[in-house]
Structure 1
Amino acid sequence: MFHDEAGPDWMGKAKRAARTLNATTRGARGAGHSVYVVLLRDRRRADPWGLYVGQTSRDPDLRFDQHKAGYKASGAARRFGLRLLPALTEHLNPMRAWEALDLEAALAEAFVAAGVPWVEGGH
């Protein structure tokens, strides 16, 4: 999928940035929400690789399928989404709804700070 096995040169930094975050409500009673990250690719961009960050009360795989089908979809995830990157969020999920909203934004900010050139979602 990537030009080389390592992927985009910023992927390692994105993984490290995601690992700096923690979910205080992970596995708590009522913890039914998740954050998820989608790998994006738009060949028209100078650096075609990016990340979309979202949160959901559904299974992240189902939510990704919904994006691709156009149901309540992010335009970026629908048009340029290739696959989920569960390794970036598995240490966080599941959590309570309020924390999923907070961590969605925090993940997007962490990815930008880590040098990911194109970050969508996170709001």
Structure 2
Amino acid sequence: MADARRAAQGLRATTARTRGASHSVYVILLHDSRRAEPWGLYVGQTARDPDWRFDQHKLGYKASGAARRFGVRLLPELVDHLNPMRRWEAVELEAALAEQFRRAGIPWVEGGH
């Protein structure tokens, strides 16, 4: 988890906490005991409260299979420094955050599209 924290801390949101900033990025901890590396991360972005969006994932609403089936909990400590931001930046940072996790060696990263 330290690698993920360092990777996330390397990103900044230029529109964080500015007027019109209503979107957030979020990270969900994944666990699948059948995988060789059972722990992973799902990265998403939302205009809703990330807790509410996590609940939607678990209920299957607009949910990736990984977040719905393997989502354990949110990891707000990885992204609190970024949120909230404008929509265009949330879309960009969602992809950048997933890429940063992959570069940091996190073996299982979902989302980030």
**TM-score band, normalised by shorter chain:** over 0.9
CA distance in 2, matches of 1:114, 1:59: 27
CA distance in 2, matches of 1:34, 1:18: 14
Q: Show the counterpart of 1:91.
A: 81
Q: Mind listing any 5+ residue stretches in structure 1 that lack a counterpart? A: 1-10
Between structure 1 and structure 2, the one with the greater Rg is 1
TM-score under structure 2 length normalisation: 0.99
Q: What is the CA distance between 1:74 and its match in structure 2?
A: 1.1
Q: Show the counterpart of 1:49.
A: 39
What is the one-letter code of the residue matched to 2:4? A
| Cα deviation 1:6-32 (Å, max 9, x = unaligned) | xxxxx1011000000000000111100
| Cα deviation 1:22-71 (Å, max 9, x = unaligned) | 00000111100000000000111001000000000000000000000011
What is the one-letter code of the residue matched to 1:62? W
Aligned sequence identity (%): 75
Q: Mind listing any 5+ residue stretches in structure 2 that lack a counterpart? A: none
Matches within 5 A, 1:109-120: 109-120=99-110
What is the one-letter code of the residue matched to 1:52? Y
Local SS of the residue matching 1:25: coil
CA distance in 2, matches of 1:30, 1:23: 13
The root-mean-square deviation of aligned C-alpha atoms, in Å, is: 0.3
Q: Show the counterpart of 1:7.
A: none
Count of residue pairs the alignment pairs up? 113
Local SS of the residue matching 1:46: coil
